[in-house]
Amino acid sequence: NAGVTQTPKFQVLKTGQSMTLQCAQDMNHNSMYWYRQDPGMGLRLIYYSASEGTTDKGEVPNGYNVSRLNKREFSLRLESAAPSQTSVYFCASKEWGQPQHFGDGTRLSIL
């Protein structure tokens, strides 16, 4: 049982490049989330999907887009990467009233 799987684990981009971070969960959870975490700081919510077919902005959505492809998959896209988007990105999923399960993160550096 893999839980929450994120790909890639590491990525280096040049400013202006685009890329998509992939996330999939096999726990049949309704809700999925994307966070970023910068050194020494807490988690900040970028976007979330409370259920299949819905997506909403979190605390720091600018520069990102998301797609809830199906119940299992929730992707995060950077259309034009900026150095300020260098961070560790975590995907998570949960069911109502239950704790959240995290993927092991994508470490993204933008030069």
Partner 1 sequence: RKEVEQDPGPFNVPEGATVAFNCTYSNSASQSFFWYRQDCRKEPKLLMSVYSSGNEDGRFTAQLNRASQYISLLIRDSKLSDSATYLCVVGGFNAGNMLTFGGGTRLMVKP
Residues that bind partner 1 (CB under 8 A): 30-31, 33, 41-43, 45, 48, 50, 56, 88, 90, 94, 96-105
> Is the Cβ of residue 14 or residue 42 nearer to partner 1 in the bound state?
42
Cβ proximity to partner 1, 11 vs 17, nearer residue:
11
Pairwise CA distance, residues 81 & 110, whole Å: 7
Integer Cα distance of 77 and 24 in angstroms = 15
Mapping DSSP onto H, E and C, the string for 89-105 reads EEEEEECCCCCCEECCC
- Tracing tokens 């470490």 back to the chain, one arrives at 107
Least spacing, CB of residue 38 vs partner 1, in Å? 12
Q: Among residues 7 and 80, whose Cβ is nearest to partner 1?
A: 7
Q: How far is the CB of 73 from partner 1 (least distance, A)?
A: 17
Question: Residue 96's Cα: distance from chain center in Å?
Answer: 19
User: C-beta of 18: minimal distance to partner 1 in Å?
Assistant: 25
